[in-house]
Amino acid sequence: LHFWAPFNLIQQVLPHMRRGGGGRIVNIASIGGKVAVPHMAPYSMSKFALVGLSDAFRAELAREGIQVTTVTPGMMRTGSQVHAKFKGNHGAEYSWFSLSTALPFAAVDAERAAAKIVEACRNGQASLIIGFPARVAIIGNAVFPSLTGQVMKLVNRLLPGPVGVEGDEIKSGKEAQREKKLPGWLMRLGRTEMVQNNEV
């Protein structure tokens, strides 16, 4: 979905852009498309593919007046963790993900991110990284890939370990949160975004 949906949509709109003499395509990728994130291999794979597609189309379509902007946000505070899918130790995986998306210094507010994307389009930016942690991770991976790889190994050790066959089952965030009660302050942080973005 993360790759094929944008790819198929681009194929549909390209003829119209060519007839109109140009336009701008904006692909919303992720930090997971620049830095491989532990426990999110399928997600990272699809986002890396989308970043590659954007980079290739940016070069190929420029002579036709069609510009491409690639957006790579870090963690977003949207409240969508209740709809995310989890495998493994469901409750623990959900807790880690909820924590990373709820903390103000770790995640970016959706409205702020949207404003930055609009500004990037108006300014004709080829690429936009949203969030300071994402910028540090992406630049760090580009300049010090071996060090970043070692850091990710340490991160993986902090994340929940493998479980038995019951971990093969996929559960939604709503189901997973029943397995591990989160602290009240964290629930309140996440709840605000859930209501604001109609994720309840």
Q: For the chain, what is the domain count?
A: 1
Q: What is the pTM of this model?
A: 0.81
pLDDT at 4: 96
> Percentage of the chain with pLDDT > 90?
52
- Give the pLDDT confidence score for residue 158 in this predicted structure: 86
- pLDDT tens for each residue of 1-40: 899 999 999 999 999 999 999 999 999 999 999 999 888 8
CATH of residue 75's domain is: 3.40.50.720
Residues with a catalytic annotation lie at 43
C-alpha pair distances (Å), 175 with each of 85, 87, 96, 179: 9, 11, 15, 7
Higher-confidence position of 194 and 5: 5
Inter-residue contact 57 to 24 (CB < 8 Å): no
Domain with 170, as residue range(s), is: 4-196
Say if residue 143 is exposed, middle or buried (CB neighbours under 10 Å; 0-12, 13-18, 19+).
Answer: exposed
